[in-house]
Every structure is written in C-alpha cells, then in structure tokens.
Structure 1
Amino acid sequence: MIIQPGNNAATAKPAPIQGDNQLFPVFLKLNELHVVLIGAGNIGLEKLTALLHNSPQTRVTIIAERVLSEVQQLVASYPQISIRQKTFEADDLNEADLVVAATGDNELNAHIRRAAHQRKLLINVADKPDLCDFYLGSIIKKGDLKIAISTNGKSPTIAKRLKQVLSEALPDDLDTTLQQMNALRLQLKGNFADKVKALNEATAMLVEQKPAQKHHLKWLIWITTVLALGLSLTTLWFNQPGFKIYVQHINPAFYYFLGAGFVFALIDGAIGMSYGVTSTTFSLSMGIPPASASMGVHLSEIMSNGIAGWMHYRMGNVNWKLFKMLLIPGIIGSVAGAYLLSSLEHYSQYTKPVVSVYTLILGLVIFSKAFKPKRIKSADKVKRISLLGLGGGFIDAVGGGGWGSIVLSTLIAGGRSPRFSLGTVKLSRFFIALMGSLTFITMLNGAHWYAVAGLVLGSALASPIAARISNKISTKVIMVSVAVIVILVSLKSIYAFAAKFL
C-alpha cells in the first residue's frame, strides 16, 4: 500500500512545543568551509573574532563599504582572510558555504538573507534571531573539549554568564585527561562492547575521586582547627596570666560579644563580606584596643571560615586555581600586618582613630556597593591575584577586617564568578586567619579575652547557617544597614578622639 501525501497522521508535522528549544546542535569544520561575512564594524569584528577563536584556519571573505581599523589589524595575522571593500551584491555569495550578516542595517540584512536562501545557504544575522538559520552560541574551550551553550536566541547575556560559570568550574587541565583517554581508546582491542566496558572502568575513577577529596579536605580543616585551637589555648594558659582569670570569672561583656559574633557572621554569610569591619567597629566601640580587636576577629574567623569554607566546598563553590594564587600571599600579608599592629599596641590611643577612619571608609564602600549595579565583564578579569591577596591580607590584619570587602569585591568587579569567588575567598580565609591569629597571640600580652571568646563562639554557631542563607534574603537591605551602623559608630569613635584635643 502506498500512502499518498495528505493531511494524515503519517505526514503531519508535530506541533511545536511552547518553550522548547528545537535547535539541533552541530559542530562544523569551518577550516574546510568558506564563510562570507558582510559588515566590518564593531558587530563584524565581534563575529570575526568568534569565528577565528574557534577555527583559526577558517577562510573568510569580508564584504563591507567601511572597514574598522581593528578589523584590518586582526585580518593582518590571517593570510586566508580577504577584505573586499565594496557594496554588497548578491553574487558575492556565489562561492560561499556559510553567510554571516553583521551590518546593523535591517533592510540590508533582509536582502542578504534572501540572496543566501536563493542559493540554499545558511545564514546568521547578528542580533536578529528570527532571521537566523543558525546561532553562534557561547563556547567554552578547554583544549580539544568544547561546550556550546544556546538559549534559542532568547538571551545571549544568560549564555555568556553560563559560559563564565562553567569556565570557572571546569579545570584547565581537563584537556590532559581527554588526551590520555584518547590514547587509551586507541590502544584498546576487541569488539565495541569490550571497548565501552574498558573506558567506563577507566573513567569511573573521575567520579569516585570526589567523595575521597571531600573526605580528605574535611579532615584537613578539622584537624588544623583542633591543632590551632589546642596550640592557642595551651599558649594562653601557660603564658597569659590574664587568660586564667577570665576563664574563672567570665566578664558579663562576653555575652554581648557572643551575640555580636553570631549576628555579624550571619550578615557576612549573606553578603560575603563585612564580618571583620563590623566586629572591629563593635569592639572599638566597646573600648577594645585595635590589635586585640583584630585578634578577636581573626581567632573567630578560624572556625567560622573553616566551617563556611567546608560548606562551600561541598556545594562545589571553590576555584582551586584561584585558591592557590590567594593563599600564600594572603598569609604573608596577614602575618606582616598582625606583627605591625601588635608592635603598636601600647599606642592604641593613636592607632584606634586610624582604624576607625579605615572602618569608616569600608562602611562607605559597602554603602556604595549596595546601590551600584554589578557589571561583570570577563575580559576585565583581575590578573595580579597574588598582589591582591598580599594587600588584602595585610590591610585585613591591620584594620581588623577587609578581606571580603577588598578581595571578594575586586574579584567580582573584575569579572570572576560571584559564587566561586565567595566560596574560594571563604576557604582561603580560614588558613589566613589561622596564621594571623597565631601572630597576634605570640605578640600580645594583655588581650581582652572575653571579647575574643565571645566572637569566636558566636561566629562558630552562626557559620553553618550563614553558608546557606546567602541567596535567601535581600542583600541590598543588609548592606545598607551594615554600612549605616559602621559609618555611625566609626564617626562616633573619631569624634570622641577629636574631642580630647578640642
């Protein structure tokens, strides 16, 4: 029986599904094709850059009346690319395999599209999804590995943001694994089923390593924390007579610092910064000298950042390459800053207003960030990560805070993923706070231990909760509230110092 074409179930096209991406992903060998690009302005430059970034050997003919100087400079490095400075004609597509229209002229783009379709050519029209036969999606490239992202033309911005997140998450050495797997595949013998089984067994370790890595990191954090606290308590018990007294007779102010540490750690978990500046500002307002205030902040951040860092690691929020670049410089800066501030502890009546000015500036920075829109451009990523870690660690130790405000804010403003930056900064802060705290303990003789203990316990209690609330409350409201409190308390401290000389 022959079924004739007609309105029946066998030949009817399925109805499109609303909200369903019907695109079929393919990867073209552009180095074997001829692409005609119409337009050589900013849009044409963007399209040409995307083509060459993925397929540097692509043969491209550019048709344009005016050619941007940047396009000419780029073309100079690619001998297989030619520029024909002329008005577009339909015959310019006679030898094309693919067409890209990047003119910004709607009428001209429509004319180019008609000419391309008459020649059975596929065309991409910049910023006009309805006129496109194919899209140039956001591409993630790790050596031979490529991942293309498509939003069906709905939002290129979302595609770019997903590209940024995945680029941060995928390790740079993933291509090494890919090459090793290819070498293994070429060595395998037997039928198809045997080869698949062998490859599955080889790749299973990639999944099995993750729990082991988490397990090892968990024990590393907890063992380091226990050893650090044990060493700190032993040193304090035998070398600090005042510590024994406070253990036996707890100062009522301890409970104020306990509550303050809990609240400040929750705030820090919500916006990724401000624990140091809020704790230091509060400590100064309670009469604690700057060095002792900074020590209290750093000791409390050992446990709170250890817990928060572990939580972020379990959620996959740590960029290990960024972590390594921040860690050692951050520790060096923290130790140097702690040593300097501790050496000036006897001059706290002079250093206190300086630190108050610093917290005032941080308060203004936090306030401005609450209303400033986030503009993330991956092309402007911070390059000197080590210098950022060194400066952030030093200023954080001297001012009793600022690691989050300086390092985290700079990373995000420079195009880093907010989620991965937050997790990485939290985990690195654990080790930096540990070394800074040991320096403070070694240098100081008369610390205010009730304040230190209150901040330590309060922040530790809040840490597991803080890591989970970062996306569940209004960041702007919290930032504005924190900024106002910090600014007012800092101004009060500065005014009190100035009043002594008036």
Structure 2
Amino acid sequence: MTKIQNEETGGNQLFPVFLKLNDLHTVLVGGGNVGLEKLTAILNNSNQARVTVISREFLPEVHALAAQHEGVNIIQKSFADEDLHTAEVVIAATNDSDLNNYIRQSAHDRKLLINVADKPELCDFYLASIVQKGDLKLAISTNGKSPTIAKRLKEVLNESLPDELDISLQQMSELRNTLTGDFAYKVKKLNSVTSILVEPKAKVNKNFIWLIWSTIIISIAIVVTTLYLKEPVFKDFVTGIDPIFYYFLGAGFVFAMIDGAIGMSYGVTSTTFSLSMGIPPASASMGVHLSEIMSCGIAGWMHYRMGNINWKLFKLLVIPGIIGAVTGAYLLSSLEHYSQYTKPVVSLYTLILGMVILSKAFNVKRKKSADKVKRISLLGLGGGFIDAVGGGGWGSIVLSTLIAGGRSPRFSLGTVKLSRFFIAMMGSLTFITMVSSDHWQAVAGLILGSALAAPIAARISNKISTKTIMVSVGIIVILVSLKSIFTFVSKVL
C-alpha cells in the first residue's frame, strides 16, 4: 500500500530529521565492513554518541574506534531479542539477510525505528550523506535510489560551500543574542542582515563590475603607452624581434599557469628567471608587475565570474596592499640592493608557512574560526611591500597565511588574485616613473605570455580539489623558499 501511494504521489516522500544521538541509545548489529561503515558515519556526526555494537566477530578498526570513543560499547555475542530492551535506534549491518529480517521484526515488535544496510525497502530511515561546515550541516537523500549520487553531491557541495559560512553562523548567533524588542522586530532585523544571501548575483557588487572593466582598460593603456614611448628600443623590437622575447614569452606563460592555478609563485619564479637572464633587480620587479596587470586583471575577472571572491576579505587587503606596494617600489627603485636583505627573512617565513599548509592538507580537522588571521590589513600592507622590494611574494605571503590560518583555499585564491591586479597596477606606475630600463623585450614577453595563460589557469583552479591546491601551494612555497635560503647562505659563506 505504501509503495503504491509513493508511486502515485511521486518524488521523495521522506521527512528529514536530525537526531541527537548523544542523548539516544543506538544498537548496531554487525562488526564487519558494513558495521564499520555505519559506526564511522555515526561517530563522524556525533562523536559522543551512545552506541552498543553487537557481533560474533569484529574488525580491528571497530575496536580502534571503540577505544577512541567512550560512548561505544562492544559486545561479542550472537544477537538476541533482549539486546533491544534499552535501544532507541536500531541499525542492522550484517551480511546475513535472514538475521537482518529477524532484527527488523524484533525492532518493530518494540516500536523501534531501524535502518537495514543496503536494503532500502526494509528501512524506516536512511543514513544520509552529510556536508558539514562547522555548525552548518546538510543531509542529502536520493530516497535510497543511489548512494553513489549522494556521495558525489556531497563532494561537490563540500568544495563549493566556503568554510566562512561557519563564521557567518557564529556572527548571526551573536547578533540574535544582542537584539532587543519584540519578535517581529527581531525577525525584521535578521531578514535585513541576511538579505544579501538571496539577492540575484547580478545585483551584488554591480558597481564593482564597472570598476574592474575601467581599470583593465586603463591598465592596458598603461602597458601599451609604456612600451611605445621607449624608443628606439620598442621600434627595433617590432622590426626585428630579439630572441629574448621568446624566452620570456614561454617563461611568462608557464609561470602564470602555475600562479593562476594555485595563486602564487609568479613573482618569485619570474624574478628569479629574469635575474638569471641578466636583468637588474629593479627592472625585473618592474617587468613582473607590468605583466601582472593584465594577467591578474583577466584572472581576477574570471574568479569573479566563478563566484570565488570573498568581498570582505578583498576590501581589507587591497588598500593596505597598494600602500605597501607603492612604498616598496619606491625604495627598490632608489636602492636596488635592498631586496637581498628582505629575501632571506621572507623565505624563512614562507618556508614555515609551506610546512603548515602541507600538514593541514592531510589533516581532516579544520581550524576553528577563532584561529583565523585577524590582522588582514597588516598582512596586506606587509605583503604588498615585500612583493615590490623582492619582485614577488604577494601570493606566497598573503595566500599562504590565509590558508594556513584556516580560510578556504579557493576563495582565498580568487580574492588574492583580484586584489593583486590593483596592487600590480599601482606598483607598476611607481616603477615606470622612477626606473629607466633597456630590457623592454623581456618585459613584453612576460606581459604577453602571462596574459595568454591567465584565463586558462583560472579555469583550471576551479577544477582542482581543495587538498590538491593546498598540497601544491605547500610544496612550491617550500621549494622556492629553500632555494632562496641556500642561495643566500652560499653567498655569505
């Protein structure tokens, strides 16, 4: 009768609930692979759940979980009706169909709800795939039709939903506790605060779209005008292309692909390459910043279109970053030897951050929101300054610190990339007014190569998993930092 009604009504007729398993007694029958899977799912969601596991045999992993959780009690015996006398929730997870049917009947005799593993038609409830971001928990159900689809949807949502959602929940809870007045006023106030969450995407930051487009046009004009006015070098370059252009074209493309995908290393790698090709430090840093105007503008726009921007974080980074970059560019242009003193300190700092990121990539537990970086503006100021005087480091310092502090790698990447566009533009203007360079072939190669790679790399970054981004960031930061430290030590010795 139930099946016929479900077919007539159509759709998923399940009623979703969230059980307080810490306050309920769950009896799980089965100590094999299926039992281990069910027990793991319970403890991942309610690590203080009271669970009694009954089976004649147990996998070692079941004993290991029981040793880690005080609420888990293991009883090695055959199932009997009296085992359900104190049960409030029942799960049958044996590989014996007859025994599962018997457990189900025993549970129903006591008016208990039961889940029978891999038998949807015998279940009173299903164990859903869970997506969790702090206190936010989403349960996914396919009405028992396809656990695989539920698993894939879980992976998609885990990647798509930012970890900052938990911060929003905590802030809303604090706001609700501070509100006074009647119920209608509180509802009105909370609706006003959360209205941005349901606004059409096109209306959010609409004015910022015009700002991005206008600055992109201005930045292109800056690059073209700068190259054109550098006569006769530019005319000679056009009529007879110097081979160095192709070297920097390829290098700019490769470095921008890496940087666009993981959000760092372009400045460091491009500067290192430029110095190895005989380009002076100030000219090398100027070339990097000029090329980053176009590449970061394109990449920043792509990340904006893909919804990878944390606007609050962006506002805290961009102005201090610009101030730091302009100051650093001015100092480097005046004192070209200055970068040799900053690079060892920065390299040691980024080396530590790289190790932290790698350890976090393989650690399931995320940091609490209280551990996140607090002084974002100071981070932006220091990152912009060191980026200018060292020819790179905005991504390595700012992105590494944000990720190491527990922020979402994907949203941090998009935000850092977009803010880098404005910082590169202002730093470039400072360099152009103060530096006289004869290396415009190299600069042009970097500009064109990085611009070609930017949209491709931005797309790639949105396809890479969070763990992959974190591992890549950690490895590259460690390798680049070690190389810089060893180079400095060898020179000193």
The interval holding the TM-score normalised by the smaller chain is 0.5 to 0.7
SS of residue in 2 equivalent to 1:467: helix
**Cα deviations by residue, 1:416-443 (Å, 9 ceiling, x for unpaired):** 5554443333222212323433444455
* Residue 294 of structure 1 pairs with residue 285 of structure 2: yes
Q: What amino acid is aligned across from residue 50 of structure 1 in structure 2?
A: N
* Residue 276 of structure 1 pairs with residue 267 of structure 2: yes
Tell me by how many angstroms 1:135 deviates: 0.8
Q: What corresponds to 1:377 in structure 2?
A: 364
Q: What corresponds to 2:138 in structure 1?
A: 147
Q: What corresponds to 1:451 in structure 2?
A: 442
C-alpha separation between the residues in 1 aligned to 2:292 and 2:157? Answer: 33
* Residue 424 of structure 1 pairs with residue 415 of structure 2: yes
* Residue 312 of structure 1 pairs with residue 299 of structure 2: no
Superposition RMSD in Å: 6.0
User: Residue 321 of structure 2 contacts residue 380 of structure 2 at CA under 8 Å; is this kept in 1?
Assistant: yes
Q: What corresponds to 2:252 in structure 1?
A: 261
C-alpha separation between the residues in 2 aligned to 1:277 and 1:149? Answer: 44
Return 5+ residue gaps in structure 1 as ranges.
15-21, 54-59, 73-82, 188-202
Q: What amino acid is aligned across from residue 211 of structure 1 in structure 2?
A: A
User: Residue 376 of structure 1 contacts residue 414 of structure 1 at CA under 8 Å; is this kept in 2?
Assistant: no
Say which of 23, 36, 50 aligns to 2:45: 50
Say which of 157, 164, 174 aligns to 2:158: 164
Q: What corresponds to 1:195 in structure 2?
A: none
User: Residue 273 of structure 1 contacts residue 404 of structure 1 at CA under 8 Å; is this kept in 2?
Assistant: yes
> Would you say how many aligned residue pairs link Structure 1 and Structure 2?
419
Tell me by how many angstroms 1:218 deviates: 3.1
SS of residue in 2 equivalent to 1:147: strand
Q: What corresponds to 2:127 in structure 1?
A: 135
Tell me by how many angstroms 1:262 deviates: 3.5
Tell me by how many angstroms 1:283 deviates: 0.9
C-alpha separation between the residues in 2 aligned to 1:409 and 1:33? Answer: 38
Of all paired residues, the percent bearing the same amino acid is 51
C-alpha separation between the residues in 1 aligned to 2:312 and 2:367? Answer: 18
**Cα deviations by residue, 1:378-412 (Å, 9 ceiling, x for unpaired):** 52377116266555444433432343445445656
C-alpha separation between the residues in 2 aligned to 1:397 and 1:320? Answer: 24
What TM-score do the two structures reach when normalised by structure 1? Answer: 0.59
291-300 vs 60-69, which deviates more? 60-69
User: Residue 337 of structure 1 contacts residue 393 of structure 1 at CA under 8 Å; is this kept in 2?
Assistant: yes
Q: What corresponds to 2:191 in structure 1?
A: none
**Cα deviations by residue, 1:317-366 (Å, 9 ceiling, x for unpaired):** 33334444544554455445445534431567x669x589959x98xx79
Return 5+ residue gaps in structure 2 as ranges.
29-35, 55-62, 177-182, 189-193
381-390 vs 274-283, which deviates more? 381-390
C-alpha separation between the residues in 2 aligned to 1:69 and 1:205? Answer: 46
User: Residue 24 of structure 2 contacts residue 89 of structure 2 at CA under 8 Å; is this kept in 1?
Assistant: yes
Tell me by how many angstroms 1:115 deviates: 5.5
What TM-score do the two structures reach when normalised by structure 2? Answer: 0.60
* Residue 211 of structure 1 pairs with residue 202 of structure 2: yes
C-alpha separation between the residues in 2 aligned to 1:265 and 1:32? Answer: 50
Counterparts in 2 of 1:311 and 1:96: CA distance versus 1, 3 Å: same
* Residue 122 of structure 1 pairs with residue 116 of structure 2: no
Tell me by how many angstroms 1:207 deviates: 7.7
C-alpha separation between the residues in 2 aligned to 1:434 and 1:402? Answer: 16
Q: What corresponds to 2:427 in structure 1?
A: 436
User: Residue 163 of structure 2 contacts residue 407 of structure 2 at CA under 8 Å; is this kept in 1?
Assistant: no
C-alpha separation between the residues in 1 aligned to 2:346 and 2:162? Answer: 36
User: Residue 366 of structure 2 contacts residue 406 of structure 2 at CA under 8 Å; is this kept in 1?
Assistant: yes
C-alpha separation between the residues in 2 aligned to 1:403 and 1:114? Answer: 64
